Structure 1
Amino acid sequence: MDSDGVVRLWSERAEDTLGLRGPGVLGTSALALLKASRHRTAWRIAPVAGPGPTAWGIWPDGREGLDEAVLDAVFTQSSVGLHVLDRDLRVVRVNTVATGMRGVPEDQLVGRPAAEAYAQFAASLDEGILREVLATGRPRRDVTVRGRPPSDPDRDHVFSTSVFRLADPRGRPIGLVVTAIDVTEHDRAERRLRLLHAVRERVGRSLDLLRTARDLADVTVPEFADWAVVALTDDVLCGEDPTLTVRTVAPVLRCAATAGSDRSEHLPDVGAVLLPGLFGEPIPERPTLLSVPQEDGRASQALVAPFAVRGKLLGAVALHRLPSSDPFEEEDLALAAGVAARTATCLENALLFSREHIVMTTLQGWPRRQPEGTQNAVNVAQRQRSESSGAGTWCDVIALPSARVALVAGRVEQSGVSSVATMSQLRTAVHTLTDLDVEPHELLGRLHLTVRRLAQEQGDISDVEEPAADCAIAVYDPVSGRLDIARAGDCLLAFVRPDGSVEPSPAPVGPLLGVGHPPFPSASYTLEPGSTVCLSSLGTGTPGLSLESLAQALSHPSHHPETMADALERLLRPQDVLLMARTRRLPAEQVVAWELPADPRAVADARRKVERCLDRWETPVDPFTVELVVSELVTNAIRYGAPPITLRLIREPHVLTCEVADAAQTAPHLRHARESDEGGRGLYICASLTDGWGVRYSADGKTLWASIGLGSGDVP
Structure 2
Amino acid sequence: MLDDTLRIVRTTVSGGGTDDAGAEADGDGDPLLGLRFADVRPAGDAQEVEGLLSEVLRRRVHLHRVLRGDRAAAAPQGAARTYAMSCHPLGDRTGPPTGVAVIVADVTERESARARARSLDAVRERVGQSLDLATTCEDLVQAVVPGFADIAVVEIVDEVLRGAEAPTGPLGRDTPLRRTAFAGPDEGGPAHPVGDVRGMPHPSPFSLALSDLRPRLLDVRPDSAWLAGDPARARSVAEYGSHSLIVLPLTLRGTVLGLLSLYRSGGSPAYREEDLGFATTLAAHTAVSIDNASRYQREHTIASTVQRRLLPPDAESRALVSVEAVHAYLPGRNSGCWFDTIPLSGARTALVTGEVKGHGIQTAAVMGQLRTAVQTLAALDLEPDELLARLNDTARVLARERTSRPAGDRVPERLEAACLYAVYDPFTRRCTMARAGHPVPVVVSPGGDTGTLNVPEGPPLASPDLAPFGTLSTVLEPGSILVLYSGSRGLLDKPGTRPLSEVLNPQDRPLRALCDALVYNFPAPELDGAVVLLARTGSFASEHQATWELAHDLRDPAAARALARGQLAAWGLPDDTVHTMELVVSELVTNAVRYGTAPVSLRLIRTASLTCEVNDTSPSAPHLRHAQTVDEGGRGLFIVSQLASAWGTRYTKQGKTIWAEVPLPV
Asked if TM exceeds 0.5, the reply is yes
1:485 maps to amino acid: M
Cα deviation code 1:418-461 (max 9, x no counterpart): 23221211111111211222221222232233224334544531
In structure 2, which of residues 535, 548, 558 is the aligned counterpart of residue 601 of structure 1? Answer: 558
Partner Cα separation in structure 2 for residue 430 and residue 295 of structure 1: 70
Shift of 1:703: 2.7
Q: Secondary structure at the match of 2:565?
A: helix
In 1, the alpha carbon distance for the partners of 2:151 and 2:525 equals 42
Aligned residue in 2 for 1:478: 426
How far apart, in 2, do the equivalents of 1:549 and 1:235 lie? Answer: 39
3-state SS of paired residue (1:307):
strand
**Match of residue 578 from structure 2:** 627
1:482 CA drift (Å): 1.4
Aligned residue in 2 for 1:257: 180
Is the CA contact (8 Å cut-off) linking 1:217 and 1:229 kept in structure 2? yes
Among 262, 275, 279, which residue is 1:332 paired with?
275
In the alignment, which residue of structure 2 is the partner of 1:492?
439
Render the CA deviation track for 1:57-112: whole Å, top value 9, x for unaligned: xxxxxxxxxxxxxxxxxxxxxxxxx5x3663x65554334477x99x997654455
The letter for the 1-side match of 2:270 is P
Which residue number in structure 2 is paired with residue 158 of structure 1?
82
SS in 1 for 2:557: coil
Q: Please, which of 269, 278, 287 is the counterpart of residue 344 of structure 1? A: 287
User: Within 5 A, what are the aligned runs for 1:5-16?
Assistant: none
SS in 1 for 2:563: helix
Alpha-carbon distance change, 371 to 545 in structure 1, aligned in 2, over 3 angstroms: closer
Match of 1:437, as an amino acid? D
Q: Counterpart of 1:319 in 2: which secondary structure?
A: strand
**Offset at 1:158?**
0.9
For 1:611 and 1:376, how far apart are their aligned partners in 2?
20
Corresponding residue number in structure 2 for 1:409 = 353
What do the CA deviations read for 1:116-137 (whole angstroms, capped 9, x no partner)? 544xx52x32414414642671
Q: For residues 527 and 266 of structure 2, what CA distance do their matches in structure 1 show? A: 51
Amino acid in structure 2 at the alignment position of 1:134: S
> Which residue in the other structure is 1:646 paired with?
601
SS of match in other structure, 1:486 = strand
Distance 2:496 2:69 in 1: 63
Tell whether the 8 Å contact from 2:252 to 2:288 is kept in structure 1 after alignment: yes
Letter in 2 for 1:644: P
Residue of structure 1 equivalent to 2:338? 394
1:323 deviation in Å?
8.2
What is the SS of the residue equivalent to 2:197?
Answer: coil
Distance 1:151 1:332 in 2: 20
SS of equivalent to 1:223: coil
Paired residues of 1:255 and 1:272 also in contact (CA < 8 A): yes
- Quote the residue 2:121 is aligned against: 197
Confirm whether residue 280 of structure 1 aligns to residue 208 of structure 2: yes
The equivalent residue for 1:321 is: 264
Deviation at 1:630, TM superposition (A): 2.8
Verify the 8 A CA contact 1:290 1:303 in the aligned structure 2.
yes
Deviation at 1:193, TM superposition (A): 1.3
Percent identical among aligned pairs is 34
User: Is the 1:137–1:164 Cα contact (8 Å) retained in structure 2?
Assistant: no
TM (norm. structure 2) is 0.77
Asked if the contact 1:381–1:565 (Cα under 8 Å) also holds between the matched residues in 2, the reply is: no
Pairwise CA distance, 1:164: 5.0
* Contact 2:485–2:533, Cα closer than 8 Å, also in 1: yes
Question: Which amino acid in structure 1 is aligned with residue 348 of structure 2?
Answer: R
User: Does 1:236 pair with 2:160?
Assistant: yes
Q: Which of 191, 196, 200 is the equivalent residue of 1:266?
A: 191
Alignment of 1:11-90 (within 5 A): 84=2, 87=5
Q: Report the more deviating stretch, 307-316 or 180-189.
A: 307-316
Distance change >3 Å, CA 86–CA 548, structure 1 → 2: closer
CA deviation map 1:127-171 (0-9, x unaligned):
144146426713462222112799998532111123456679996
Q: Partner residue of 2:12?
A: 95
How far residue 242 of structure 1 moved from its aligned partner, in angstroms, is 2.7
The residue that corresponds to 1:178 in the other structure is 102
Match of 2:567 among 610, 622, 643: 610
Q: What is the deviation of 1:179?
A: 2.7
- Structure 1 partner of 2:302: 359
- 1:31 aligns with none
Aligned partners of 2:312, 2:135: CA distance in 1, in Å? 24
Report the 3-state secondary structure (helix = DSSP H, G, I; strand = E; otherwise coil) of the residue aligned with 1:280.
helix
Superposed displacement of residue 189, structure 1: 1.3
2:58 is the alignment partner of 1:137: yes
User: Given that residues 252 and 275 in structure 1 are in contact (C-alpha distance below 8 angstroms), is that contact kept between their aligned partners in structure 2?
Assistant: no
Question: Which secondary structure state, in structure 2, belongs to the residue aligned with residue 410 of structure 1?
Answer: strand
Structure 2 Cα separation of the partners of residues 249 and 546 of structure 1: 50
Identify the residue that residue 370 of structure 1 maps to in structure 2. Answer: 315
Q: 1:478 to 1:423 in 2, by over 3 A?
A: same
Shift of residue 635 of structure 1?
0.6
Secondary structure of residue in 1 paired with 2:129: coil
Which shows bigger deviation, 364-373 or 557-566?
557-566
CA contact (8 A) 1:374 1:397 kept: no
Secondary structure of the structure 2 residue equivalent to 1:331? helix
Q: Secondary structure at the match of 2:347?
A: coil
Mapped partners of 2:616, 2:45: distance in 1: 101
Structure 1 residues 607 and 212, CA gap change in structure 2 (3 angstroms): same
Deviating more after overlay: 559-568 vs 514-523: 559-568
Bigger-Rg structure (1/2): 1
| Alignment partners' CA distance in 2, 1:589 and 1:537 | 37
C-alpha deviation, 1:220, in angstroms: 2.9
Q: Deviations over 1:573-602 (max 9, x none)?
A: 845544444433334444432334442321
Q: Give the alignment of 1:670-685 within 5 angstroms.
A: none
Contact 2:588/2:636, CA 8 A, preserved across alignment? no
Residue 502 (1) aligns with residue 488 (2): no
- Cα separation, partners in 2 of 1:327 and 1:569, compared to 1, 3 Å: closer
Alignment coverage as a number of residue pairs = 611
Instruction: Choose 105-114 or 599-608, whichever is displaced more.
Output: 105-114
Which has the higher relative contact order, 1 or 2, with Cα contacts under 8 A spaced 6 or more apart? 2
Q: 1: CA distance between counterparts of 2:261 and 2:93?
A: 62
Distance 2:317 2:210 in 1: 56
- Which residue identity is paired with 1:289? L
> Is the contact between residue 301 and residue 320 of structure 1 (CA under 8 Å) also seen in structure 2?
yes
- The runs of 5 or more residues in structure 2 that have no matched partner are 17-21, 228-242, 508-513
Report the Cα offset of residue 417 of structure 1.
3.2
Q: Partners of 1:557 and 1:661 in 2: how far apart?
A: 43
**Aligned equivalent of 1:289:** 217
Distance, in Å, in 1 between the alignment partners of 2:93 and 2:399 is 92
Q: Secondary structure at the match of 1:493?
A: coil
1:218 CA drift (Å): 3.5
- Alignment partner, residue 404 of structure 2: 460
For residue 188 of structure 1, report the CA deviation from its aligned partner: 0.9
Secondary structure of 2:404's aligned partner: coil
TM-score, normalised relative to structure 1: 0.72
Q: What SS does the aligned partner of 1:232 have?
A: strand
| Deviation at residue 219 of structure 1 after TM alignment | 3.0
Deviations 1:20-60 (A, max 9, x none): xxxxxxxxxxxxxxxxxxxxxxxxxxxxxxxxxxxxxxxxx
